[in-house]
Chain A
Amino acid sequence: MKIIWAVFKKEGLDTLRDRRAIIAMIVIPMVIFPVIFGGLGFFAIKEVKKAQEKVLKIGLIQAPESPLVDSLTNQEGFELSDLPSGTDAKDQVDNNGLDAVIVFNESFADELNGTGAGELSLHYRSTGNGGISRNRIMNVIRDYQTSVRETRIKDLGYTLDFINPVKVDFQDTATQQEQIGEAIGGFIPYLFIILCFTGAMYPAIDLGAGEKERGTLETLLTSSAPLIQIILGKLALIVCSGLFAASLSMTSMGLAMMSMGSRIGDISSQIGPMLQPLNILLFFSLLFPLTIFFASFLMTLSFFAKSFKEAQSIISPMMALIFIPLIFGMMPWVKLTYVTAAVPILNISLASKAIFSGNVEWGPVAVVYVSLIALAGIGFVACTKLASKESILFRS
């Protein structure tokens, strides 16, 4: 135990003095959530607000005398201009700085004065904030459409129920937490698992292939310390690094939401209830065996590699092995069953989705624990066996 602790302490000190490890273990997990919530969320909301408040320049071609044109003219934030008939509407939107061009059919007013449908075409660019501009124009058109519909129905002596014979009142039985858990419950563990892996990855490469490359492994192996204890000390440090990165990202997310709650609107109020202490505890209890597996897996590959660079090139593509089940776990139709509970990584993604949405079925969750603990055990045994082989340690 004394040797394991000595190795753990030394590796910890060594890792904490390594700038690259600090970036992977501390800086990235600390920064990622403030960037997501503070940066992306803040700027997205700001952009939407800007697009909603922007004065839209709208060109009208063949505009009739119509209440619709009056509504458009009176709408705050719209700047209308009449364009000659035959003007290329596409060119006006693409090259002349107009946000939209409405081309009215010649018979637009006549059709509406009768019982027909007035036709118009709305030209806009859907890229950028064009979608928001289109919605603002469509809101005015829809209001006009509704008023014309009501007038026509009344003129016929009917009420609106005549054209809406069935009224549906939607009553969602899912709680708000369940809805949010379903929507983003898969995404949050996805980030934590990735950060846990990347947090463990750098120390693992440094503690195996890095030692080989620097020639320190040779001196380490000539000490009378049992190899298994040296490996255990190293694994313990890698596990701690992974969990530390995940915890840090969790803390950073909490802090980001607390400090930016009002600015980022609904996001914090949606995620907040999911992050109950019990949920976090359950999530970390799932993450712990998975991190042991990650550490063993990374350590084995790291010892196998001849150099730091080779270890990076072997390990980096392995990220795909984690991404694939995690992405599956984010799909709304993939549920935690006794079968999916046995699939590593996918199971933790689904289980955490269930935990965060407050919809836990303990049977499959127990299978997840068994599966992850078995995986950690297999990974650990394989690591100690392979890392003890001289063909791996002295591979050249």
Chain B
Amino acid sequence: MIQVEGISKVFKKAETNKQKVYRTAPKTTFTAVDNVSFTCQPGRIYTLLGPNGAGKTTALRIVASMLQPTTGTVKICGVDVTKDARAARAKLGFLTGSTGLYNRLTPWETLKYFAALHQVEDSVSQERMEQLIDRLAIGEFADRRVGKLSMGQKQRVSIARTLMHDPEVIIFDEPTNGLDVLTSRTIIEWIRECKQAGKTVIFSTHIMGEVSLLSDDLGVIHNGKLCYDDSFENFKSQFGQHSLEDAFISILEDAS
């Protein structure tokens, strides 16, 4: 379970070249995430929907304890990420569209490395690696370097890496960004499998089609603020007469 309560993130805004040269304008701040609260339940998929630059990645990085919130708290399975980031990280897996894999390692070496980083016992890690390689059909290219794999194969390795320590919570940050239809389909199926396995899944996207395919709960984020947070069923009944896209734009317009 993920409990996010009133998180905000304020960054120092980078100076423009003109400001750097003339030293005229003082440094200003930029609020990337503004008092966001939501809850994700086990066995459900929470979709964080928002346009580019809305604050989705920053919010998810805070949830994943990569960034410290300026205010607010995040609890992963009851563990406060600001107080015990390591314990929280042990319970979560994080996957992005960029795969985040080492091109010069093989899938096998990658899984072994992440098992070691997550301190998975050797006896357990070997069995889990074999299971994941089998379930994700990685076997035929398990000894080939990641850099030589296709995007779809890389994504399968990336999923295996994310699940290597069997996390209770999985964060998918725009996992289909820039992927072709077939590869995106693999990811979507895996997100569903994670849900069926009883995991807490949070998924960010700006693609409407994925929302209707996956969402149990929906949060719409715009300019760092969460402007909608309810079940997807309620969303559909509330905006039933409109297409999803119209409904999304209507929420954004109301929030602006």
The distance in angstroms between the C-alpha atoms of A314 and B38, with both chains bound, is 42
Nearest neighbor of A18 in chain B, beta-carbon distance: B104
B102 near A222: Cβ-Cβ < 8 Å: no
Nearest neighbor of B94 in chain A, beta-carbon distance: A222
B99 near A223: Cβ-Cβ < 8 Å: no
Mark A350-393 against chain B: 1 for CB-CB distance below 8 A, else 0: 00000000000000000000000000000000000000001101
Given A14-B105, A215-B98, A224-B89, A6-B117 contact (CB < 8 Å): yes
B11 CB to nearest A CB, Å: 8
Nearest neighbor of B164 in chain A, beta-carbon distance: A223
Decide yes or no whether A226 CB sits under 8 A from chain B.
yes
B165 near A224: Cβ-Cβ < 8 Å: yes
Chain B residues within 8 Å of A167, by CB? none
The distance in angstroms between the C-alpha atoms of A393 and B66, with both chains bound, is 9
A10 near B113: Cβ-Cβ < 8 Å: yes
The distance in angstroms between the C-alpha atoms of A166 and B93, with both chains bound, is 90
The distance in angstroms between the C-alpha atoms of A6 and B111, with both chains bound, is 12
Decide yes or no whether A90 CB sits under 8 A from chain B.
no
B68 near A390: Cβ-Cβ < 8 Å: yes
Given A215-B99, A394-B66, A224-B117 contact (CB < 8 Å): yes
The distance in angstroms between the C-alpha atoms of A375 and B102, with both chains bound, is 33
A230 CB to nearest B CB, Å: 8
Given A2-B119, A224-B119, A390-B68, A14-B86 contact (CB < 8 Å): no
B89 near A6: Cβ-Cβ < 8 Å: no
Decide yes or no whether A225 CB sits under 8 A from chain B.
yes
Mark B147-190 against chain A: 1 for CB-CB distance below 8 A, else 0: 00000000000000100010000000000000000000000000
The distance in angstroms between the C-alpha atoms of A218 and B109, with both chains bound, is 18
By DSSP majority rule, is chain A's interface helix, strand, loop, or mixed? helix
List A residues 218-255 near B (Cβ within 8 Å).
218-226, 230
Decide yes or no whether B249 CB sits under 8 A from chain A.
no
List B residues 182-239 near A (Cβ within 8 Å).
none
Decide yes or no whether B248 CB sits under 8 A from chain A.
no
Decide yes or no whether A168 CB sits under 8 A from chain B.
no
Chain B residues within 8 Å of A230, by CB? 117
Decide yes or no whether A320 CB sits under 8 A from chain B.
no
Decide yes or no whether A156 CB sits under 8 A from chain B.
no
List A residues 26-43 near B (Cβ within 8 Å).
none
A215 near B86: Cβ-Cβ < 8 Å: no
Most chain A CB atoms below 10 A, which of B94, B99, B102, B114: B102
Decide yes or no whether A13 CB sits under 8 A from chain B.
yes
Decide yes or no whether A159 CB sits under 8 A from chain B.
no
B94 near A219: Cβ-Cβ < 8 Å: yes
Decide yes or no whether B64 CB sits under 8 A from chain A.
yes
The distance in angstroms between the C-alpha atoms of A288 and B162, with both chains bound, is 38
Given A2-B116, A223-B89, A17-B165 contact (CB < 8 Å): no
Chain B residues at the A interface, C-beta cutoff of 8 Å: 12, 61, 64-68, 86-87, 89-90, 92-94, 96, 98-105, 109, 113-114, 116-119, 145, 161, 165
- 22 A-B residue pairs with CB within 8 Å: A2-B119, A3-B116, A3-B119, A6-B113, A6-B116, A7-B117, A10-B109, A214-B98, A214-B103, A215-B98, A216-B100, A216-B101, A218-B94, A219-B94, A219-B101, A221-B66, A222-B66, A223-B118, A224-B90, A224-B119, A390-B66, A390-B67
Kindly list 12 other residue pairs between chains A and B, CB separation below 8 angstroms, not including A214-B102, A216-B101. Answer: A6-B113, A13-B105, A14-B102, A14-B105, A216-B100, A218-B94, A219-B96, A222-B92, A223-B118, A224-B117, A224-B119, A225-B117
